Amino acid sequence: MRMRQRLVIGVALFAWWCPVAPALAQAPSPHNLMPVPASVTFAAGGFAIDAHLGVKFDGYKDARLERAVERLLQRITKLTGVPIVRSGNVPALRITCGRGPSGVQKAVEDERYALRITTGGATLSAPTVYGVLRGLETFVQLIEQEPNGFAVRAVTITDQPRFPWRGLLIDVCRHWMPVEVIKRNLDAMAAVKLNVLHWHLSEDQGFRVESKLFPLLHQKGSDGLYYTQEQVRDVVRYAADRGIRVVPEFDMPAHTLSWLVGYPSLSAGKGPFELARAWGVFDPVLSPIDEKVYAFINRFLGEMTSLFPDAYFHIGGDEVNGNQWNGTPAIVAYKKRHGMATNEDLHVYFNTRVSAMLKARGKIMVGWEEVLHKNLPKNTVVQSWRGQKSLADAATQGFKGILSNGYYLDYIWPATRHYGVDPMGKDAANLPDEAKARILGGEACMWAEWVTPDTIDSRIWPRMAAIAERYWSPATVTDPGDMYRRLDVVSQRLDATGIVHRSNYQPMLERLAANRPTDALRGIVDLVEPVKDYNRGRRVEYTSLSPLNRLVDAARPESDEAREFERLVDALLADPAKSAGRDKVTARLEQWREDAKAVQSVLDSPLLQDAAPLVQNLTAVSALGLRALDALQKKTPLTLTPEETESLAKAIAPVAEVLLMVAPSVKKLVDAAK
């Protein structure tokens, strides 16, 4: 591993025609790969990375593959600091691609690849360009720092994804996300082998794509924040270059206030209409009985489907509360006349007509779970937000499906909770093979009520990498401890893709502190997490115009410090005699007590005025934790005053819409000391 040897990148044949070997749950030697490949076998040796990076292609080659290699080299330079001059004469990485793409990327493509690294170089082979793209991402993850520089270990990898549909939904409607946000997240998605961007483009709060046929959609429905059609095409090309499909979503018949602002005649009820500024399910909905509405949708779909080459087109179809349909006499009479007993029947009628319009344009309809009905074409894809049982039921009925329940990133769950959710859960275990095959995979959802361009990356990453592993890796890869070990490394390496989930943290702290010293503030914010599920906004009224620039916005979804403190406390309580563990816990509690004192100098900042109770709580739990440690060491029972008991309860409760994540671990110490 320490030899100095020229790295030259090119490609040679390596048994890509062989099926992937049976899954290995974990390589015998620790590695930092994420997702874990299907089969990994390390060996002695490897080769070093230096500036002379040569590239050679055998077999099929096109401009996309050449651009992929250039991106690889640029990322290697960012990660290692090694300037690549590409003057090598002997290829160290030889890439063999069996064939080029057959038209637009499909939902199921052959993404297999084989990667072999020896002291003499590396070979990457794959049947298709998609396999090459995935293999290149694995290669860059294999680069590790050695005493004399950077190197890659000798290894044999054969790999393929567990699920063909591995997606991320990005909502750009409730809060606008410029093109550069989408592109940098596409780069990060490619790095962890995701292959679907679900682009949520219309909502009650905004319509985000230029329409030349119906310009009032974006002119009146977007606050001037929308993508031009050329920008849409550019993003689609950018994604395709990375082997990522773009599936657009234009929600209908509900969540359409942004449509009705410009075209009120589409509504089932009376206006006037204006963009929603708050969140929720609103009454306004498209009329399902007006032929002029269907003519409008038909022309609209003709325009939008021309922008998105993917075979799938998402119509939303969720959260029709039925109030306008029930309150409109003409609609009530229509239902009666046509033998429709419920609004669900009317909704099915709407969906079948829209599905036929999409079919006429060579598209397949995708919809949220509410669209599921026996009368829809069986190739309809159902996106499940209700859970694994519902997904399995849809598969039993003959529908393809993808799971989003358990992958809502805006719930601010820890990575391990998402990691434990499997699209092929226990409800699918006993399905026949043909039904199991209809479960295509999953999509994580980044809804945008509580994110801005400054914060969205920190809400997606690095947790999305853990979810990506669930979609790609064998079902046997489930160890949360090892996942977190690798996730820490992957999180740092993702910086090289351009996302700002880590680099934006310090500037946000400086803004909170009004550009004063942030060491103590950082020490406190490192210990908190935003409230979970949809508990934000319970005590503070927000709208889409609210600046999301407070402590809760700077706080990251997972506190690494709190997780490590919990580990130390658990280890100490399991073996109190170990003084080293006690010393580490003591040092942290003393540091937090000092941070709580030092941060007083910046609490007068307008953006931190709601944080004072949090600091008080940290002071209290630090003192209680130290008292508990002392009692444990002396083996004397700890007695709390009523005020101390109350202060501990306050510290565990939300303050300023964040949770002090070390408070439960201090409570463990206190309970043990009692």
Residues with active-site annotation: 319
The CA distance from 303 to 123, in Å, is 44
Preceding amide of 530 cis, omega within 30: no
What residues does 660 pair with on adjacent strands? 528
- 180, 181, 250, 258: which is closest to 224 by C-alpha? 258
Beta strand segments in 565-673, E: 658-660
Q: Is 207 helix (H, G, I), strand (E, B) or coil?
A: strand
**Which residue matches tokens 């444990």?**
632
CB under 8 Å to 394, separation ≥6 — which residues? 369, 372, 382, 384, 401, 438
Q: What angle do CA 538, 539, 541 make, to 5 degrees?
A: 85
With beta carbons less than 8 A apart as the criterion, state whether 205 and 277 touch. Answer: yes
The CA distance from 647 to 615, in Å, is 12
Beta strand segments in 27-82, E: 39-49, 55-59
Q: What is the largest CA-CA distance in the chain?
A: 82
Looking at residue 23, its amino acid is A
Q: How many CB atoms lie within 10 A of CB 503?
A: 12
What residues does 122 pair with on adjacent strands? 93, 117
Tell me which DSSP letter residue 349 carries.
H
Tell me which DSSP letter residue 380 carries.
P
Angle (deg, nearest 10), helices 179-191 and 129-141: 80
Q: How many CB atoms lie within 10 A of CB 177?
A: 23
Q: How many CB atoms lie within 10 A of CB 583?
A: 13
Q: What is the CA radius of gyration of the chain?
A: 27
Per 3-state DSSP, what percentage of the chain is helix, strand, and coil (rounded to 5)?
Answer: 40, 15, 40
CB under 8 Å to 243, separation ≥6 — which residues? 105, 111, 129, 130, 133, 134, 190, 195
With beta carbons less than 8 A apart as the criterion, state whether 303 and 361 touch. Answer: no
**Strand 149-159 relative to strand 143-146: parallel, antiparallel, unpaired?**
antiparallel
With beta carbons less than 8 A apart as the criterion, state whether 112 and 16 touch. Answer: yes
**Which residue matches tokens 């998609």?**
130
Please name the residue ranges forming H helices in 195-310: 216-221, 229-241, 257-260, 291-305
With beta carbons less than 8 A apart as the criterion, state whether 648 and 621 touch. Answer: yes
- Tell me the two tokens of residue 30: 């620790």
Q: Is 613 helix (H, G, I), strand (E, B) or coil?
A: helix
